[in-house]
Structure 1
């Protein structure tokens, strides 16, 4: 009898034995014959084929018995499979698999279709479907301004969005009917969409797919780290905002896959330089979550060697990543706790790398985690990841502060990677598609290559030296960079919203409602939302019109011989001064490169330590508090005491001598200020005096008490006393510090 030719000793651990290899030709008949031979003549199995090592007779008998049990199929009785076949739901395997976001869109379209049917009081269904029915459904959808619950709809404003809605409708139709929309009907709907777009005045403008070059990325990172107009609640979030961009830029990856990066997806190693240079700290990160809703796929791993000799460390991914790793003591070696230890490490002779393994318990912990509020401020959550909406808002705001006219989005870096790889001789088309997780080049051609040609095609045609750098600069997001561009509304522009006719009508209606009633509170909340929306729209209008208006002013002034207008004066909206930790961070990242290797190591290590120190900083509010009213005329203003004296005076004022005393400073905030350096600008904010003890009570309950659960323990930073639970804190606040809660 023929012997078994394949080994089946690892059936539970891998499916490699049951599937053909890359170089094998899988013959169905051969497989059936092997299976038949196995089932009928198990005793004829050659033990040497199962295990290459030496096996004694006892182990061989056990091995054969295991094979008999496996191929016998006797794990479950026949009734198990009969019942399973009767209850099997084949719809779960015949339906299309869509990403979670796409599924939500399909469900939303189905809800809208049901509302339309109820609105017209007819039993229209998907099948049969006509062009007239679709026209009226889409017109009804464009006319919707509010949800059935009364919430205002954002609405469809662009023709491209209407086209997307039609594509989602086709998916909903296919899911309900089981087949695609008729091609003829699909072609007719293009005319319907054009007609409706014209009727409702939908914009034909598409979002520009401009790239963010590396030079512009450096400006974005510098603004993110140095600005005080944008608060990140916790310093580590500011570092995350930079690290996210530095990982996204070279990988050109799906932004959500970067956010879902876990510590187990990172590999840090000391690599021997093949060219004989010093050892290099190599970072590899694997993006395991890349559109895996259709099933798990092979994950791409991206290598990042370290560059020590750059002009600044703002673009050094290793500084920020190692700062996070050392901050959380992520390395498995208990003695490896400082970046200064890196230069002491060596690679074993004859080997090419030394792995720096991370702790096993961090394997499934996300690198990018959001902050959660506690009694004394914010801390990094255990494993709650940052959402794409959060990182996109941070990127957009920092782009505004940088002076960019276009809305800055993470995809600007993905666009740049696709364009750079397309023109690079070192990256093949297949490698580019693999890195971007594309099946072919169609997505790059349709969505990533810029609609503005970023090459000097005129010089190429004429055969002269092309000016590619100049044209590329004009096609990137940085072409419009201007520090003079308005970032926020002025107080006068913001106050002008109150004169808007809609706001005035809402104000008159609000006066007719009894104060304190539920209707009054709902109306007040709706009015605040409306004011925010109108301010946002006004800001967008001003920013869009600024470029042309400012250009006209610059032209007129120069032709009249007056030169450029002076830069706008710094106002209160500039933000608070940089705190010491932020100054130290910026200084460490912008130190010029050293001339020797030891100096380069010292420069890198100092930057990592500065990143670690800034991660623990609890940032305050974005907008500084208004200054108190000026003193009465004729009465000289009291000079401000030195910061150290201010903290000491505040510490004395938060302790009561009588049970009826009611201080007007928060003992938790003053205790926190006592731990900061005296020159820290946040000290002034933390030691401020509230107008009344009642205002202090509101602050205590809103900013501190509500973030504490009933059974959570805490510590008073002023008394250094441990408080067992929430009620204990409230009693301590009243009896020791006179704060009523």
Structure 2
């Protein structure tokens, strides 16, 4: 019965209201659907699926994958390192090829990028971040410098592995050479904009810099207003009937964050598509090779049950070890190896981002687009065919642009 169900799913081409489905093209996607089914089965019956039946289904799913010709190759896992984040941030701040209703939206996107890089969290864990999950304070500088800002972030919507929530400590870097990589720059601007600090005289960075620690204290807490505890850091900005509204009680949607990151990556000139998990690929690789983070700490940070999860799904398949130098007893060129592994290796701002008029016209001659138009005389299917033609046209334009790039 289960095999027939997945056989049926693999053959599905249209969904509700005749909407075309993306289909299952990879073995990993079929495996994810199987895991989702197991979770649903356990939730509905309160009993996990029989182990022997599960093993048999794994074999049958592999047979189905061969029968339907599913791709069994892994998705490329090119990581994003800090050197890739710089051009992405600069593009997000400066470009006019993508515009927003408010400057707040650019600031939110920049903050999201640096938070994804420094905390390697998933998209939903970050977009659901609220003011009640933040704690700011001034800390005594142990090196004799001025007081330093400390940000404590507790991600309550991350996976509850081991029943705990991670709290990340992000101290200010004094005399930071690049403020576009500082989360304090963007987050404090959002908090000051919303008048979020409880202290009445704390309205700007100038006010914050005038605070000092006295009486031998190590820290000075900077609490936020309780009435704004439910405000979202990445709030939703909407435009209705020409009026732009900022809804701090609703989080930004995952699709908005993902599409914005993808668009800015294309504008910056990155060959591969930008998405949040690339920060997890890069962060995981750095922690794994740094020698400063134990396996237990890495699992806790990334919310993994074991290192097997990291090796199977996150560790880049491109070997970053300079094997030639290693075998010849030479000094490995670590900088070179890291440079050719990261996203910036394929950075080319000159690559085309739009199709020419001639290229757009060439798509009109594709049989995939012409055939549905021939049947458009059937009035009962007119609306459905119009939608199919429009979607096909967009698909062909996108495919041509990807081919050219």
Q: Does residue 121 of structure 2 align to residue 250 of structure 1?
A: no
What is residue 212 of structure 1 aligned with on the other side?
A: 80
Check whether the contact 1:157–1:203 (CA below 8 A) recurs between aligned residues: yes
CA shift in 2, pair 1:171/1:308, >3 Å:
closer
What is residue 228 of structure 2 aligned with on the other side?
A: 362
Q: Does residue 333 of structure 2 align to residue 467 of structure 1?
A: yes
Q: Does residue 180 of structure 2 align to residue 180 of structure 1?
A: no
**Aligned mates of 1:310, 1:148 — CA distance in 2:** 53
**Aligned mates of 1:357, 1:189 — CA distance in 2:** 54
Deviations 1:511-540 (A, max 9, x none): x367xxx85444333322221122222222
Check whether the contact 2:79–2:279 (CA below 8 A) recurs between aligned residues: yes
Answer 1 or 2: higher relative contact order, Cα 8 Å, separation at least 6: 2
Secondary structure of the structure 2 residue equivalent to 1:311: coil
Secondary structure of the structure 2 residue equivalent to 1:364: coil
Secondary structure of the structure 1 residue equivalent to 2:86: helix
Deviations 1:683-738 (A, max 9, x none): xxxxxxxxxxxxxxxxxxxxxxxxxxxxxxxxxxxxxxxxxxxxxxxxxxxxxxxx
What is residue 503 of structure 1 aligned with on the other side?
A: 369
Q: CA RMSD in A?
A: 2.4
**Aligned mates of 2:387, 2:212 — CA distance in 1:** 63
Q: CA deviation at 1:164?
A: 2.5
What is residue 332 of structure 1 aligned with on the other side?
A: 198
Q: CA deviation at 1:172?
A: 5.0
Q: How many residues align?
A: 404
Match of 2:299 among 423, 433, 438: 433
Check whether the contact 2:112–2:126 (CA below 8 A) recurs between aligned residues: yes
Where structure 1 has 5 or more consecutive residues not aligned to the other structure, the ranges are 1-125, 544-741
**Aligned mates of 2:40, 2:297 — CA distance in 1:** 35
CA shift in 2, pair 1:168/1:256, >3 Å:
closer
**Aligned mates of 2:13, 2:399 — CA distance in 1:** 18
Q: CA deviation at 1:423?
A: 2.0
Match of 1:147 among 15, 20, 26: 15
CA shift in 2, pair 1:194/1:425, >3 Å:
closer
Check whether the contact 1:403–1:483 (CA below 8 A) recurs between aligned residues: yes
Q: Does residue 83 of structure 2 align to residue 221 of structure 1?
A: no
What is residue 400 of structure 2 aligned with on the other side?
A: 538
Matches within 5 A, 1:445-524: 445-510=311-376, 512=377, 520-524=382-386
Q: TM-score, normalised by structure 2?
A: 0.91
What is residue 282 of structure 2 aligned with on the other side?
A: 416
Q: CA deviation at 1:216?
A: 0.5
Check whether the contact 1:268–1:355 (CA below 8 A) recurs between aligned residues: yes
**Aligned mates of 1:209, 1:494 — CA distance in 2:** 31
Matches within 5 A, 1:162-173: 162-171=30-39
Match of 2:151 among 257, 264, 283: 283
Deviations 1:348-383 (A, max 9, x none): 221011122211111121111111224443221131
What is residue 107 of structure 2 aligned with on the other side?
A: 239
Q: Does residue 166 of structure 2 align to residue 300 of structure 1?
A: yes
**Aligned mates of 2:151, 2:251 — CA distance in 1:** 21
Q: CA deviation at 1:298?
A: 2.6
Q: CA deviation at 1:410?
A: 0.8
Q: CA deviation at 1:474?
A: 1.5
**Aligned mates of 2:214, 2:51 — CA distance in 1:** 67
**Aligned mates of 2:117, 2:41 — CA distance in 1:** 39
Q: CA deviation at 1:187?
A: 4.7
**Aligned mates of 1:176, 1:318 — CA distance in 2:** 47
**Aligned mates of 1:223, 1:148 — CA distance in 2:** 39
Deviations 1:370-412 (A, max 9, x none): 1122444322113110122221111111111111111111111
Check whether the contact 2:141–2:148 (CA below 8 A) recurs between aligned residues: yes
Check whether the contact 2:122–2:276 (CA below 8 A) recurs between aligned residues: no
CA shift in 2, pair 1:422/1:196, >3 Å:
same
Secondary structure of the structure 2 residue equivalent to 1:384: strand
Deviations 1:253-276 (A, max 9, x none): 233211111111111111111111
**Aligned mates of 1:225, 1:376 — CA distance in 2:** 24
Q: CA deviation at 1:181?
A: 4.1
